[in-house]
């Protein structure tokens, strides 16, 4: 078993030993921190000192701190530079110090503290009912399915011809929403077993005014869909193995366990998706499935399937594509 497979995506910082004792924040004197830049520097120092994990929409202490400071001050992350030398008010300073202390003390991902995450530049509401979105499939929709000039590979032809998409294990609904933008003429079904997650997804779908294009379904994988067939199925299912579940970093323990838990070898849900997908794909369609860092485990589990591994800027061999025609016929 590849132990790496079991770990959620983290930075090098997360791989060093973490302190067990709760962090005691150093005292900050009134007026010692003045500008946005001062608070950013202070947050980065605290986060680095505490050897925290960054895997929830940001991948290092600087990006996490910038996100926290901007969101707390109701600024878009792109506006940080413009206001870096601006002073904050006393109330804003208290709010920033409170959030930085909370981030360190509780290890809650910043996305939960500010109820927001950006994915592919789009904001999504998040809270502890859903995993913080960080699927590589978001980038792959642009790079391998968008059909635009930037598309590295075009796996499904003209995106305008795609009329039905399924997002299995939708969580916050982020991938369903991104897919609805990639495929402007598609109706998107999105399924999750968690009713709580679907409430968050419904909020995001409504925020984007996509209620007429995205249907949310409660249930176990394909069960709520009847005999429906799709041009494309995308899924970022739970895929953490038992060893990984036992060693989840504190940050990830704030997220729903059922978003991670893939059984003993991590493939419980992936196996079911692969075996049930053929009955729900049109000929010419295909399945995109994220599996984490266990490419060797997956290839050993499906030795006869011609899986095509799709890489992104920050991942290699963590997502596969398979044509409907190459999947074993549904039994």
Ligand X SMILES: C[S@@+](CC[C@H](N)C(=O)[O-])C[C@H]1O[C@@H](n2cnc3c(N)ncnc32)[C@H](O)[C@@H]1O
Q: Contact positions toward ligand X, by CB under 6 A?
A: 130-131, 133, 135, 169-172, 174-175, 191-194, 197, 220-221, 236-238, 256, 258-259, 269
Three-class secondary structure of residue 35 per DSSP: strand
Residue nearest to ligand X according to CB distances in the complex: 171
Q: Nearer Cβ to ligand X, position 84 or 193?
A: 193
- Distance of closest approach, residue 269 Cβ to ligand X, in angstroms: 6
- Distance of closest approach, residue 145 Cβ to ligand X, in angstroms: 16
Rounded CA-CA distance 169/220 in Å is 9
Q: Nearer Cβ to ligand X, position 25 or 258?
A: 258
Rounded CA-CA distance 150/135 in Å is 20
- Distance of closest approach, residue 278 Cβ to ligand X, in angstroms: 18
Q: Nearer Cβ to ligand X, position 68 or 289?
A: 289
Count of CB atoms situated within 10 Å of the CB of 235: 25
User: Which of 79, 92, 76 has its CA nearest to residue 35?
Assistant: 92
Q: Nearer Cβ to ligand X, position 180 or 236?
A: 236
The secondary structure of 243-293 as a DSSP string is HHHHT--GGGGGS-GGGTB--TTS-HHHHHHHHHGGGGEEEEEEEEEE--S
Q: Nearer Cβ to ligand X, position 13 or 194?
A: 194
Q: Nearer Cβ to ligand X, position 231 or 290?
A: 290
- Distance of closest approach, residue 237 Cβ to ligand X, in angstroms: 6
- Distance of closest approach, residue 246 Cβ to ligand X, in angstroms: 18
Rounded CA-CA distance 331/329 in Å is 6
- Distance of closest approach, residue 196 Cβ to ligand X, in angstroms: 8
User: Which of 272, 71, 258, 45 has its CA nearest to residue 171?
Assistant: 258
- Distance of closest approach, residue 89 Cβ to ligand X, in angstroms: 35
Separation of first and last alpha carbons in the chain: 29
Query: Residue 304: CA atoms inside 13 Å, Cβ hemisphere, count?
Result: 5
Q: Nearer Cβ to ligand X, position 73 or 273?
A: 273
Rounded CA-CA distance 134/12 in Å is 17
DSSP assignment letter at 219: S
Give phi and psi for 251, each to the nearest 5: -55, -45
Q: Nearer Cβ to ligand X, position 51 or 187?
A: 187
- Distance of closest approach, residue 132 Cβ to ligand X, in angstroms: 7
Is the four-CA dihedral 259, 261, 265, 271 of positive or negative sign? negative
């Amino acid at each position: 078993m590849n132990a790496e497979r079991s770990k959620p995506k983290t930075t090098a910082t997360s791989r060093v030993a973490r302190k067990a004792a709760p962090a005691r924040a150093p005292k900050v004197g009134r007026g010692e921190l003045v500008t946005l830049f001062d608070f950013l520097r202070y947050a980065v120092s605290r986060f680095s000192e505490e050897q925290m994990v960054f895997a929830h929409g940001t991948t290092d202490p600087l990006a996490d701190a910038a996100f926290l400071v901007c969101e707390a001050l109701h600024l878009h992350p792109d506006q940080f530079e413009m206001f870096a030398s601006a002073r904050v008010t006393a109330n804003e300073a208290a709010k920033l110090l409170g959030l930085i202390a909370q981030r360190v003390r509780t290890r809650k991902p910043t996305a939960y503290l500010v109820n927001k995450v950006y994915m592919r530049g789009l904001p999504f509401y998040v809270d502890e009912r859903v995993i913080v979105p960080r699927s590589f499939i978001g980038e792959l929709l642009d790079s391998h399915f968008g059909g635009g000039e930037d598309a590295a590979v075009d796996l499904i032809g003209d995106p305008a011809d795609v009329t039905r998409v399924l997002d299995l294990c939708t969580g916050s609904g982020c991938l369903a929403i991104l897919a609805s933008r990639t495929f402007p003429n598609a109706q998107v079904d999105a399924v999750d077993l968690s009713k709580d997650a679907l409430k968050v997804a419904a909020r995001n779908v409504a925020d984007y005014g996509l209620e007429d294009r995205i249907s949310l379904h409660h249930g176990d994988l394909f069960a709520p869909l009847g005999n429906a067939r799709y041009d494309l199925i995308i899924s970022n299912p739970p895929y953490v193995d038992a060893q990984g579940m036992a060693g989840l970093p504190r940050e990830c323990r704030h997220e729903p366990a059922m978003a991670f838990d893939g059984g003993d070898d991590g493939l419980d849900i992936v196996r079911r998706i692969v075996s049930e997908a053929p009955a729900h794909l049109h000929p010419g369609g295909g399945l995109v499935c994220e599996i984490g860092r266990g490419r060797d485990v997956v290839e050993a589990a499906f030795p006869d399937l011609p899986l095509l591994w799709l890489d992104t800027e920050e991942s290699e061999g963590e997502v596969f594509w398979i044509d409907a025609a190459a999947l074993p016929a549904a039994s």
